[in-house]
A and B are shown apart, each in its own frame.
Chain A
Amino acid sequence: MNIKVCVGSSCHLKGSYDVIQALKDILKKYDVEDLVELQASFCLGHCAQGVNMKTDDISENMMKKANISTEDGFLLLHNVTKDNAEELFVREIYPLIEI
Chain B
Amino acid sequence: MNSQRIFDTDVQFVKYKVLKEIIRRAYEGGLEEAYMEVPKLLSPGPKAETRCCIYKERAILQDRIQMAMGGDKSNPNVIEVIDSACDECPIDGIYVTPACRGCMVHSCKEVCPKDAITIVNHRATVDKDKCIECGKCTQACPYSAIILQHRPCMVSCKVKAISIDENKKAKIDNEKCISCGACVYKCPFGAISDKSLILDIIDILKKSENNTKYKVYAVIAPAIVSQCRFGRVTQVVTAIKKLGFHHVVEAALGADITLYREAQEWNEKKLMTTSCCPSFVSFVEKNFPELKQYISSSVSPMVETARLIKKSDPTAKVVFIGPCTSKKLEYRLEKTGGAIDSVMSFEELQAFVDARGIDTTQMEDSELNNASYYGRIFAKSGGIAKGIADVAKEMGVEGVKPIAMNGIAECKAALTKLKFNKATENFFEGMACDGGCLNGPVCITHSPRNVVDVDKYGNEAQEKTIFNSVRLMESL
Interface residues of A, Cβ cutoff 8 Å to B? 4, 7-10, 12-13, 17, 20, 38-43, 47
Chain B contacts of A47 at CB under 8 A? 367
Distance between Cα atoms of A97 and B313 in the complex (Å): 23
Q: Is the CB of B217 within 8 A of A42?
A: yes
Decide if B475 touches A43 in the complex (CB within 8 Å).
no
- Tell me if B246 counts as interface (CB < 8 A to partner A): yes
Given known A8-B247, A17-B468, contact A41–B367 (CB-CB < 8 A): no
**Assuming A9-B367, A17-B472, A41-B313, what are 4 further A-B pairs, CB within 8 angstroms?**
A12-B370, A17-B471, A42-B308, A47-B367
Give the chain A neighbours of B368 by CB distance below 8 A: 9
Main SS of chain A's interface residues? mixed
Q: In the complex, which residues 458-476 of chain B have their Cβ closer than 8 Å to any Cβ of chain A? A: 462, 468, 471-472, 475-476
User: Measured between C-beta atoms, what is the minimum distance from A2 to chain B in Å?
Assistant: 11
Q: Within 8 Å CB of A7, what residues of B?
A: 312, 370, 472, 475
Interface string of B298-309 (1 = CB under 8 A from A): 000000000011
Q: What are 8 A-B residue pairs whose CB atoms fall within 8 Å in the complex?
A: A4-B312, A7-B472, A8-B247, A8-B370, A12-B370, A38-B475, A42-B249, A42-B312
Q: Are A9 and B468 interface neighbours, CB within 8 A?
A: no
Cβ-based interface call for B366 (8 A): yes
Q: Which B428-476 residues have C-beta < 8 A from chain A?
A: 462, 468, 471-472, 475-476
Q: Which of B369, B462, B475 contacts A40 (CB 8 A)?
A: B475
* Residues in chain A near residue B468, CB distance under 8 A: 17
Q: Which residues in A have their C-beta under 8 angstroms from that of B471?
A: 17
With a CB–CB cut-off of 8 A, which chain B residues contact A42?
217, 247, 249, 308-309, 312-313
Contact indicator A41/B472 (Cβ below 8 Å): no
Q: How far is the CA of A39 from the CA of B313 in the complex (A)?
A: 10
Q: Cα distance A87–B366 when bound, in Å?
A: 30
> Which of the four size classes fits the interface of chain B?
10 to 19
* A12 and chain B: residue at smallest CB distance: B370
Residue of A nearest to B308 (CB): A42
B264 to chain A, nearest CB (A): 21
The CA of A20 and the CA of B475, in the complex, are separated in Å by 8
**Closest CB in chain A relative to B464 CB, distance in Å:** 14
Min CB distance, B345 to chain A, in Å? 23
Contacts A8-B247, A13-B462 known; A41 to B370 CB distance under 8 Å? Answer: no
Most chain A CB within a 10 A radius of its CB, from B246, B249, B367: B367
With a cutoff of 8 Å between Cβ atoms, the chain A residues found around residue B313 in the complex are: 41-42
Once the chains bind, are A8 and B217 in contact (CB under 8 Å)? Answer: no
Chain A residue with the shortest CB-CB distance to B476: A40
**A17-B468, A38-B475 known; A12 vs B369 contact (CB < 8 Å):** yes
CA distance A9 to B219 in the complex (A): 13
Given A39-B476, A40-B472: A9 in contact with B366 (beta carbons within 8 A): yes
Query: Smallest distance from the beta carbon of B333 to chain A beta carbons, Å?
Result: 24
Minimum CB–CB distance from A93 to chain B (whole Å) comes to 18
Chain B residues with Cβ under 8 A from A39's Cβ? 312, 475-476
- Give complex CA distance A38, B476 in Å: 8
In the bound complex, residues from chain A placing their C-beta under 8 Å from that of B217 are: 42
Complex alpha-carbon distance, A39 and B249, angstroms: 17
With the chains together, A13 CA to B367 CA distance in Å?
A: 9
Residue of A10, A42, A47 ringed by the most chain B CB atoms within 10 A:
A42
B472 lies within 8 A of A8 (CB)? no
Could you tell me the distance between the alpha carbons of A17 and B407 in the complex, rounded to whole angstroms?
Answer: 38
Residue numbers in B under 8 Å from A20 (CB-CB): 475
